[in-house]
Structure 1
Amino acid sequence: MLAIQFDHFGGPEVLAPVELPAPVAGPDEVLITVEAAGVNFADTHQTDGSYLSADLLPYVPGNEIVGHTPDGRRVLARVSHGYAELVAAKKSHVFDIPPELDAGQALALLTQGLTAWHLLRSAARLAPGETVVVHSAAGGVGSLAVQLAREFGAARVLAQASSPAKIQLALDLGADAVVTYPLEQKADVILDAVGGELFDQALASLASFGRLVTYGNASRSGFTPVDPARLSRLNASVAGFWLRPALANPSAVTTPLKAMIDLVVRGRLRPVAHHSYPLAEARCAHVDLLARRTVGKVILLPQRG
């Protein structure tokens, strides 16, 4: 079968198509023929060595796929080694999805949708009537967070984005306005995956009892130290979020995932999935993602003759 693998670290250029033996499903697993594989920003950290150690190489990245089981079910699944034509997945990590749900939209709901949901619900504890600022509002997580914040009762949803096209997308998805720092009006909740200077600007823009939730470092500029005395003066808090520990709780996955699928089917949530690449061009997908040339969910499509 065709898969994408790397055997040393060095960024997107290390990704290469290879032919590997098909996986064999174990007793608690199911073999899935991949319809589409999701690409996440975390995958780029794997190729540069900031997520993996050298003793795990060679490695096939990818942790989410849409595909079909041998008995014909169409499923969304959390996996390991998803950049491939065939994947063995734990049965407990497989979720049935309706046939009308687009593969890119379904993939957007897993890692990125669950992240957006828990950023607002679990980490920020968003209350109705509050003001939310979403950084990278046209990205995979951000584009969903803009919509979910509205769904959860935010009074105002403000977007930060890096280009006119991305700004327009955030507005089309329901953001009230685009913001630059310093904010004219302080925010109750700010979601940040960029870090660096933007993190510091956001912290200074929190309202009293505001919450800044950090969930990434896309700027790769290092994490900004937080002075507890400054938090006291601001009467504000900083929370961190990482999806992986949340995935250990089944209800933290199934409940929001089912709710988001229902919102999509009813037309109340619109996952953005504009960018697809052939599986063999995974390197290009990573390059474009890192260069911020993509919006929403990025997916890989196995090409079969």
Structure 2
Amino acid sequence: MRRVRYDHQGGPLFTEEVPAPAPGPGELLVRAEAVGVTLPVVRKVREAAEPVPLGGEVAGEVVALGAGVGGFAVGDRVTGLCFGHGYAEVVPLLAPMAGPIPRGASAVDAVALVRSGLVALGVLDAAGARRGERALVTAAAGGVGHLAVQLARVRGASRVVAAVSDPAKAALPLALGADSAVAYADASWGEPVDYALDAVGGDLLGRVVGAVAPGGRLVAYSSGGGSISAYDLLAGAKTAIGFQMARIAREQPAWYERRRRELWELFAAGTVRPAVHATVPLDEAARAHEWIETRSNRGKVVLVI
């Protein structure tokens, strides 16, 4: 089978022929149809001292079951997380992290919707989003951000502000229900918000704190780091919350499954629409990484096999 990897920090990515893996205990073996590309994986290629497997969101058909797996059968179409080599034609998925793809939905729909949508729902839950509140979403044209814009509205936000790196990217979140859009470099981001969902971090984090109204909440879920002034939180009685999806997936499986069902119901109703920037062949993974690394994508970037 074909698999994409790299052999030193920074890449480049290349395709190799390797034997297909066998499913381990508790795993599904899936013939991949689509693989979602994420910023954390792209950053690992650039930043990790040693090469790491390119994991991530995978959707496809179950071809084998590992020991102890129940609730799935060969031939089922599923989507889930691969923590090993996910940029491949055949990949192992942990059964608790996998879920069915409903009839009528494609593999590309699945990788654009489920994991990113779960993160978006998770940060909204962490923010304690309430009906009538004002929301700010950074990276609002990204894979998670464009879904967070829509889901904030589902959660009853009275106003949703979409923050983007480039004004040219504002059209997507505005088309998906944002009330207004701002660029990171704009002098003003308008009226303060009750909660902010930040996927950028770094130098932008202080700006996001400043956009939160007194008594408001910031949820930070970026892998980009950044620092917050304790005085800025104290002076405005603001709350900063860190969110990690992996922890929720490991420790709250009932939440994970409930929210996964909710996403597919919203998708079926047409309430939430995943946007795909581009689909590219597995052999062109480097091009997909470039879109993510330069933040030029509008929606999800997907490898198709």
TM-score, length-scaled by structure 1: 0.90
Q: Can you list the C-alpha shifts for 1:37-95, whole angstroms capped at 9, x where unaligned?
A: 11100111221234xx53xx4x4302211100132211112212110000122222221
Q: Which amino acid aligns with 1:60?
A: P
**Which sits farther off after the overlay, 248-257 or 259-268?**
248-257
- Give the whole-Å Cα distance in 2 for the aligned partners of 1:227 and 1:91: 41
Quote the offset at 1:164 in angstroms: 4.0
Deviation at 1:217, TM superposition (A): 4.7
Instruction: Give the C-alpha shift of residue 196 in structure 1.
Output: 3.2
Between the aligned residues of both structures, percent identity stands at 37
Residue deviations 1:242-265 (CA, integer Å, cap 9, x gap): 211111121231111110011001
Q: Are residues 1:114 and 2:118 paired?
A: yes
Alignment match, 1:231: 233
Distance 1:216 1:140 in 2: 13
Please list the CA deviations of residues 157-211 of structure 1 after superposition, one character each: whole Å capped at 9, or x if unmatched.
1111233442111110000111345333111011112223322122122112111
The 3 A distance-change label for structure 1 pair 217 and 34 is: closer
User: Aligned partners of 1:242 and 1:291: how far apart in 2?
Assistant: 23
Task: Within 5 Å, give how 1:275-286 maps onto structure 2.
Answer: 275-286=278-289
**2 CA distance for matches of 1:37 and 1:125?**
31
State the match for 1:288 in structure 2. 291
Letter in 2 for 1:100: G
Distance 1:95 1:287 in 2: 29
Distance 2:179 2:148 in 1: 13
Partners in 2 of 1:183 and 1:88 — Cα distance? 44
Q: CA deviation at 1:230?
A: 2.6
Given the alignment of the two structures, is residue 66 of structure 1 paired with residue 59 of structure 2, yes or no? yes
Alpha carbons of structure 1 residues 274 and 184: separation in structure 2 relative to 1, 3 Å: closer
Q: Matches of residues 140-289 of structure 1 in structure 2 within 5 Å?
A: 140-179=143-182, 180-218=186-224, 223-224=226-227, 226-248=228-250, 249-289=252-292
Tell me how far apart the structure 2 counterparts of residues 158 and 245 of structure 1 sit (CA, whole Å). Answer: 28
CA 162–27 in structure 1, closer or farther in 2 if over 3 Å, else same: closer
Question: Does residue 301 of the first structure (1) align with residue 294 of the second (2)?
Answer: no
What secondary structure does 1:254 align onto? helix
Q: Number of matched residues?
A: 290
SS in 2 for 1:294: coil
Identify which range, 177-186 or 38-47, moves more after superposition. Answer: 177-186
* Partners of 2:199 and 2:222 within 8 A in 1: yes
Deviations 1:252-303 (A, max 9, x none): 311111100110011111011131111011111101111122111111112x
User: What one-letter code is carried by the residue in structure 2 that aligns with 1:209?
Assistant: G
Offset from partner CA, 1:215-256 (integer Å, 9 cap, x none): 1155xxx512x2323311112111111211111121231111
Give TM-score, length-normalised by structure 2.
0.90
Residue identity opposite 1:84 in structure 2: A
Partners of 2:209 and 2:24 in 1: CA distance: 48
Q: Does the residue aligned with 1:14 lie in a helix, a strand or coil?
A: coil
Q: Give the Cα–Cα distance (whole angstroms) in 2 for the partners of residues 88 and 157 of structure 1.
A: 38
1:76-129 per-position Cα deviation (integer Å, ceiling 9, x unaligned): 1221211000012222222111131132221123331111111111x2111111
Q: CA separation in 2, counterparts of 1:300 and 1:2?
A: 13
2:98 corresponds to 1:94: yes
Structure 2 counterpart of 1:15, from 9, 13, 16: 13
Query: What SS does structure 1 have at the residue aligned with 2:270?
Result: coil
Range moving further from structure 2, 208-217 or 81-90:
208-217
Q: How well do the aligned residues superpose, as a CA RMSD in angstroms?
A: 1.7
Indicate which of 28, 41, 49 corresponds to 2:39. 41
Gaps of 5+ in 2: 64-73
Aligned to 1:32: 30
Structure 1 portions without partners, runs of 5+: none
SS in 2 for 1:292: coil
